[in-house]
Amino acid sequence: MAATAYGVNDAATVKVWGRKLLRESIAATRFYNLIGEGSDSIIQKFNDLSKGPGDRVTNILRVKGSGAGVSGDSTLEGNEESLTTYTDNTLIDQLRHAFRSAGQMSEQRVPFSMREEHRLALTDWFSERLDTAIANTLAGNTAQGDTKYTGSNATTAPTSNNRMFVYGTADESLSATNTITLTQIDNAVEKAKTNSPLIRPIKIGGEEWYTCYLHPYQVTNLRTATTTGQWLDIQKAAMQGGRVADNPIFTGALGVYNRTVLHEATRIPQGVNSSTSAAITTVRRALFLGAQSASICFGRNSASKESMRWVEKFFDYENQLGVAAALIWGIKKNVYNSQDLGVITISSYATAAT
């Protein structure tokens, strides 16, 4: 009886595992639901480099017109307005990692497939790295200078109009009395609507929404706020009306407050000292997000086919199996005309409960 089988290093197996690895890695990230190809996406994906050469994507922002127009039969010719556009670049680079067995006897001693465990380990590793890079990028975590942890691009600090401190003036000024409350969510919504440029909400079912990601320490501070009109309001407003719960940005949400979907994310980074650029362990930067907060790009074989490069190799006369994966990608916070486009950081004092 003949049977079809695909062994180690078979071309078909490599492609299948490469696609599966990327899909599972991205799906396991906390920020996966924010990625989309439209301009209303919070993290907009660009596939420009997935089919051809290049190491960067140039994104163009057109700002709204500001001309007054003309009335009646007044002459329009000569009173036209020119378009105002700004550009920003997102670089991509290759990120690789590998796991390797000690040898056949080590594999003999355990009741599982070493090859499968290598794949699962790489899935965990890439999902954690992607999550970390996205959080560092959006928060402007300049304390992290290694671009392997910031999505192939150097981070840029939050711009002056796009950062908030809980009753403080800098991350290093925050103390135990400066914990986050729902008041800061209200203030962020107000800032988003009046900022220049405006922070656009995303539209779901004809309604406009923002989203906010908080560190678990900040979530605890919200939950334990006892003053009137705090956490209880989230519970009352959880998933307001309509079919919003069917939309991915509501998956796993803590609740909804003032048209803002609240999420918890463990990799929200620490604060940064404005003078020394050192990390501040007692501060976290919550991320209040609107449309086009960041751009994410993938290289060839990493986007349209949802695949990363998968390599299996034997060492020491085929005694040891090594498994490696590589992803060509980049993410960058959108900054146009020296202003963040779609993100506000909310810095608050936040430490583990005692």
311 φ, ψ (degrees, to nearest 5): -130, 130
Q: How distant is the alpha carbon of residue 122 from its chain centre? A: 19
Q: Which helix (H) or strand (E) holds 216?
A: helix 216-223
Pick the CATH number of 157-293+337-349 from 3.30.70, 3.80.30, 3.40.1710, 3.30.1930: 3.30.1930
Predicted confidence at residue 3, as pLDDT, reads: 47
CATH number of this structure's domain 11-63+86-144+294-335: 3.30.2400
More confident call, 173 vs 36: 173
Q: Which residue has the higher pLDDT, 16 or 96?
A: 96
- Of 83-92, 106-115, 273-282, least confident by mean pLDDT is 106-115
Q: What is the pLDDT of residue 116?
A: 81
* pLDDT over 60 (residue 165): yes
Sketch the domain layout of the chain as residue ranges: 11-63+86-144+294-335, 157-293+337-349
> pTM for the whole thing?
0.85
pLDDT value for 10 = 52
Whether 170 and 325 have beta carbons less than 8 Å apart is answered as no
Nearest to 341 by CA among 70, 82, 109, 85: 85
Mean pLDDT of the region 139-154? 97
DSSP notation for 79-139 = ------EEEEEEE-EEEEEEEE---HHHHHTSSS-HHHHHHHHHHHHHHHHHHHHHHHHHH
Please choose, from the candidates 308, 312, 309, the residue with its C-alpha nearest in 3D space to the C-alpha of residue 8: 312
Question: How many CA atoms does the CB half-sphere of 163 hold within 13 Å?
Answer: 22
